[in-house]
Structure 1
Amino acid sequence: MVEKLIPYDPAEDLTTDEAIEVFLADAFETGDARYIARALGVVARAKGMTKIARETGLAREQLYRSLSENGNPTLETTIAVLKAIGFQISGKRAA
């Protein structure tokens, strides 16, 4: 019997600020810039990339590229995305 595997998208499970906070905290704890960028991309997709693009003033395509596995977002982009999703650079929910 052959089992069929389906792709898993973690963005589908990030439905609360608490889940996002745990997800980002885990990413920041790794200290891996690429992993952090990718995690921000997952969160941005969960929140709606078009909405994030509008709030940051950045092009949606640029966000997808910067926040991908091979992306390398600037600090300015990282801060703008965190602010747009309601978080601060520490990865904790903004007050």
Structure 2
Amino acid sequence: MKKKIKVSDLPRFDAAAYLDDEKAIAAYLTDILEAGDGALLASALGDIARARGMTEIAGKAGVTREALYKALRPGSAPRFDTIAQVCAALGVRLVAEPMAAAGGRRDRKAA
């Protein structure tokens, strides 16, 4: 019989450890944005800020380190201007792309 592993015995996953370059950060944010969850976006930006250095990002965003931790903690609902400031401090931008029309049709202008 195999030994059972308790979930509580597993190491806690930290995405920040894997966000070591711009491509990884962009891919991570793209996946998070597709989920459409604002609190998840805030938490992901917190992961990226921790990977880059929370104190440095807070300074660039014009907020205190404590306020940045509070705004980007899991389950938070930061204001859009806070998200925009953090994105600018991280050197990333959120980009809108057209979604495919219902039934897979594309906009006539794009064709």
Band of TM-score, shorter chain: 0.7 to 0.9
Measure how far apart 1:89 and its partner are.
2.3
Which residue of the partner structure matches residue 30 of structure 2?
A: 25
* Structure 1 outlier segments of 4+, above 3 Å: 1-4
Structure 2 Cα separation of the partners of residues 44 and 6 of structure 1: 21
TM-score for the superposition, normalised by structure 2: 0.76
Larger radius of gyration: 2
Aligned residues: 91
Q: Which runs of 5+ in 2 are unaligned?
A: 97-111
3-state SS, counterpart of residue 40 of structure 1: helix
Structure 2 Cα separation of the partners of residues 61 and 90 of structure 1: 28
3-state SS, counterpart of residue 24 of structure 1: helix
Select the structure with the greater relative contact order (CA < 8 A; seq sep ≥ 6): 1
Taking only aligned residues, the RMSD between alpha carbons, in angstroms, comes to 1.5
Q: Which runs of 5+ in 1 are unaligned?
A: none
Which residue of the partner structure matches residue 77 of structure 2?
A: 72
Structure 1 Cα separation of the partners of residues 25 and 15 of structure 2: 10
Measure how far apart 1:2 and its partner are.
6.5
TM-score for the superposition, normalised by structure 1: 0.88
Residue range with higher mean Cα deviation, 65-74 or 21-30: 65-74
Listed as ranges, the matches of 1:1-95 within 5 Å are 1=3, 3=5, 4-90=9-95
